[in-house]
Homo-oligomer: A and B are copies of this chain.
């Protein structure tokens, strides 16, 4: 993998760049849709390509349990298995184990846990996390980290940072494949000093890219943004920076403004399935009765294939009768919104106009919200999810 930074915004910490992988080039800043078990739920790879995505995330934990990383390896790896020709990033499974699995026991050696599916017992170490991800065969793999649940004591957070460093080193030492990029993950909760320590620890080990983990887990947005303000300046300019499990549209803009290059989140697909549609004027909750007769597209200003073909009334009907196609169409609309937002963000950064873009984003949404008594709050709670 090669990463090159192009323009800097100037007014913010934002930059545009380009990730070259064996499976194609990814313009950054970029948002990765989440295909927990292979596909983004209900979505074909060909849809993702047409929407403009070039990099998706798959969850190592879920694929380790089903169908098993060895099965995927036998079948030629994730790209061939899932039919996705673009680039893939796998997370290491740490966050999922701590979020989903039962009876976790963490030692310096690794984590023992019971599967959330059948209660079977597993033991994952930094070495096995790498082995699993090498078998899955993504373009970018992640170091095995300990994501401490918030709120946590200072001691717990410090212990998480210490263990994450230890594990990061063991991940590096156990690598066999040279054709995958390996990213380290900066932990440290909401403690600025710990974040800086964690970042410096990892940089000392030398990774192909750096992720910021342990955020979007229930803290206030201001706290999350504050951690970015502290952490990102520590990270090397020449390496990609990835904010894990984030986020809402405003989080992407705020993250980019603070120098983040990559994001992933289940929001477009999960909100799509539950009928919450992103638009230039805020959120459309498609189940609302007022859409029964509404022949407008979801967002008249949207260029997605769903808005080109279907009315709010039809999407309302599909949601109302629980038709599978409704989940699919809503997800496609939301994915397009996220892909298009990132295209606009990249363009704004390239022109040195991200501040203006951010201002216009909030203004236009707030103005619309003022016009619409039913508008969903722009600041609704969202937490990182361990898969979709």
One of A26-34, A209-217, A275-283, A316-324 contacting the partner:
A316-324
One of A35-43, A182-190, A256-264 contacting the partner:
A35-43
- CB A41 to nearest CB in B, in angstroms, measures 5
Residues 183-228 of A contacting B (Cβ, < 8 Å):
none
A67 contacts B313, C-beta separation under 8 Å? yes
Residues of B within 8 A of A66 (CB): 317, 320-321
A313 contacts B37, C-beta separation under 8 Å? no
B311 contacts A41, C-beta separation under 8 Å? no
Q: Given the complex of chains A and B, what is the CA–CA distance between A74 and B295 in angstroms?
A: 9
Residues 323-368 of A contacting B (Cβ, < 8 Å):
323-325, 327-329
Residues of B within 8 A of A83 (CB): 309-310, 314
Residues of B within 8 A of A37 (CB): 317-318, 321, 323
A75 contacts B324, C-beta separation under 8 Å? no
A328 contacts B323, C-beta separation under 8 Å? no
Q: Does A7 contact B (CB under 8 A)?
A: no
**Tally of this chain's copies:** 2
Give which listed residue, B75, B323, B325, contacts A311 with CB less than 8 A.
B75
| A71-B293, A75-B293, A292-B67 given; A39·B323 CB < 8 A | yes
Q: Given the complex of chains A and B, what is the CA–CA distance between A317 and B313 in angstroms?
A: 34
B81 contacts A313, C-beta separation under 8 Å? yes
**Beyond A37-B321, A44-B325, A75-B313: 4 further Cβ-contacts under 8 Å?**
A38-B323, A41-B325, A44-B329, A74-B293
